Structure 1
């Protein structure tokens, strides 16, 4: 079991109530917890002690049974926990003293490309003589299938990958990537599945998606640039995707829902949405402790409801534990880009860190931290957790 102990602790307050899986010192068996302030309430122990009707959902130490139980059960469990925090305090332990592990088994992983600002920047860099956006970009949420087996929990070391690259003189080389990058993203965790052949409409989004996590979809840009034509990303991204150990229930973000940017042209019927599933989130990106960007998720062109509708419109079935991510979150202003590729403009304008060193792309030993917050109606912010990883050779 791979996890992280002594990770940076997030203060979640008493209303967000994110879920995690954790291991106590000296034990091998995982437990399910819920975050309260900077502590974890051990739901596996608490509900078993009370012989609660839902104790079985947490006995295995993973969120998998809860995800599969569906939205009515999600609501009932969250309501019970919120109403009984004081009574559950005897099962509360500091988050700093436990090992946080991957909270669910990732069934499938899909990554989207939903930021117009990011897609336009990448287009200008990779296709300088062509249009910034491909002709299909504003008609459908573009995505690719990643590898569920290389989704890892925050704190897992990230080994620099090797691959083929095209050199400036046109020769083909093989070796460690020289352009290792971060990608700040928001992840959406599917709970309730769907039947093969039955699309999930945009209005059913919250009947299938359980919650959100923070994602770093690491990228080898030189490998990606050589391989991506004509079928898109492959080895340049499949080596590792880091996720936060906390899954924030969608219900906690009800107050963060906003209208997305105006879509032009109007999307086809199955992508038209009446419900506002834009989200007012901010992703703060730090390299070795230096904040290099604050990326606004509110600027995302395609909403997660549209992503899910597009993912299933051909009849592809959902399974509990499916994970799909937004793609890099980038805004229109300086210091709002969600990757070093954009922040350094493919290395031509290196980013300066607090210690005076500069980065075009990540070096061995660099530590990347992406922390997310949501702004609720009225302006109050809540923490959604963070994902961290350190590059190794």
Structure 2
């Protein structure tokens, strides 16, 4: 298993069903090209955590807290790698190609951030060429907005081209119809397990007590709808029609070898965001993302350069006393790097549609009906291994 992105150092969690029992959803752990039926394995091995592992959703395990997360992960690794357990475990391994994957957890709330300095700077230069690229608050707090949890969908779910109001530059009044500037955003999402009490902020040091794991996110964006609606309250219909996530949630503990320090900050941070303080672990993650359009690689954004970390985002999300719920999902915002080939959305890659991408199947500024976008990622693991994040794929369907 040393040559796979999904070996014993990874063990991401998902939800699956089989053709013979399509309505029976079960928790699984990906191991190479197989899926371990967690509930069945837990019963076979007499696990003390069998009840939460038999659940038809990841939420009961998420809510159980970090000590249980660590205990279950240790058990699963033992079942799959120790010689005494392999024969029993093998009876509960199913080929990945033969199962149907589902949204692995019930999404409670969804928040999207804007944490890449390179992305924010590019967007500012595109839309405000005669003003400062970054707004005055950008380097003092992680900017974000509340999205729509009910339209978070699992990888493979088709995305219908959204429609709404848009105002082309040459028009004096808005028009209505399908978006003409449909885009993607390559992001990393963080899944909350342990809830928090309303009125009590979550400190930076408590990040790992509340966040269970990581998933890839494609935050589909209708740029023309967004441009007309976002003043003065920000994104709404241009974002809420679909957000795609991976069917696999990689535990934070699988990414310990990928932890890195974030970029240096230009301004002193307020104490609740100060991750240079004593006792605060490095909050960045070295994740290498690849963006494909119709099978062609168009960008490779590096997550290690994100200005704001997931721990800072969680601290800011709760600093006003807002409570966390099991199943909350918050995303990083578009991941972009300093080079053109590292930009995580078409808005940046084509510089607002003015510099079309030259692809083997034709030019692209924004997405066309039938286009398929896939996000993949990996991170350094222990002893030279690689940890894979489950891919996210979505195909654009026309608005009927």
In the alignment, does 2:64 pair up with 1:69?
yes
In the alignment, does 2:218 pair up with 1:212?
no
What is aligned with 1:3? Answer: none
Whole-angstrom CA distance in 1 between matches of 2:268 and 2:13: 37
In the alignment, does 2:270 pair up with 1:276?
no
TM-score between the two structures when normalised by the length of structure 1: 0.95
Q: Mean alpha-carbon deviation: is it higher for 139-148 or for 89-98?
A: 89-98
Whole-angstrom CA distance in 1 between matches of 2:96 and 2:224: 38
- The Cα offsets for residues 263-321 of structure 1, whole Å up to 9 and x where unpaired, read as 11021110011320100001100000000000000110000000000000000000110
Query: SS at 2:379's partner residue?
Result: strand
Task: Structure 2 unaligned segments of length 5 or more: list them.
Answer: 81-85
Deviation of 1:371 (Å): 0.3
What is aligned with 2:76? Answer: 81
Deviation of 1:59 (Å): 1.9
CA 1:301 to 1:378, structure 2 compared with 1: closer, same or farther past 3 Å? farther
Deviation of 1:168 (Å): 1.3
Deviation of 1:377 (Å): 6.2
Whole-angstrom CA distance in 2 between matches of 1:222 and 1:126: 12
Deviation of 1:46 (Å): 1.3
Whole-angstrom CA distance in 1 between matches of 2:90 and 2:168: 59
What is aligned with 2:348? Answer: 342
What is aligned with 2:130? Answer: 129
Deviation of 1:26 (Å): 2.0
Which of 51, 67, 70 matches 1:56? Answer: 51
What is aligned with 2:315? Answer: 309
Task: Structure 1 unaligned segments of length 5 or more: list them.
Answer: 1-9
In the alignment, does 2:371 pair up with 1:366?
yes
- The Cα offsets for residues 57-77 of structure 1, whole Å up to 9 and x where unpaired, read as 022221110000000000000
TM-score between the two structures when normalised by the length of structure 2: 0.94
Whole-angstrom CA distance in 1 between matches of 2:384 and 2:34: 25
CA contact (8 A) 1:280 1:376 kept: no
Number of aligned residue pairs: 383
Q: Mean alpha-carbon deviation: is it higher for 118-127 or for 175-184?
A: 118-127
Whole-angstrom CA distance in 2 between matches of 1:378 and 1:120: 36
Structure 2 matches for 1:226-305, cutoff 5 A? Answer: 226-273=228-275, 274-305=280-311
Whole-angstrom CA distance in 1 between matches of 2:126 and 2:175: 21
Whole-angstrom CA distance in 1 between matches of 2:293 and 2:217: 15
Deviation of 1:354 (Å): 2.5
Structure 2 matches for 1:149-168, cutoff 5 A? Answer: 149-168=150-169
CA 1:24 to 1:362, structure 2 compared with 1: closer, same or farther past 3 Å? same
Whole-angstrom CA distance in 1 between matches of 2:32 and 2:218: 24
Query: SS at 1:40's partner residue?
Result: strand
CA contact (8 A) 2:5 2:378 kept: no
Query: SS at 2:164's partner residue?
Result: strand
CA contact (8 A) 2:254 2:381 kept: no
Whole-angstrom CA distance in 2 between matches of 1:376 and 1:51: 30
Query: SS at 2:300's partner residue?
Result: strand
Moved over 3 A (4+): 376-380
Whole-angstrom CA distance in 2 between matches of 1:144 and 1:11: 33
Deviation of 1:375 (Å): 2.1
What is aligned with 2:83? Answer: none
Deviation of 1:384 (Å): 1.0
What is aligned with 2:107? Answer: 106
Deviation of 1:167 (Å): 1.3
Structure 2 matches for 1:141-152, cutoff 5 A? Answer: 141-152=142-153
Whole-angstrom CA distance in 1 between matches of 2:212 and 2:65: 8
What is aligned with 2:27? Answer: 32
Structure 2 matches for 1:161-240, cutoff 5 A? Answer: 161-169=162-170, 170-240=172-242
CA contact (8 A) 1:11 1:38 kept: no
Query: SS at 2:342's partner residue?
Result: coil
Deviation of 1:128 (Å): 2.1
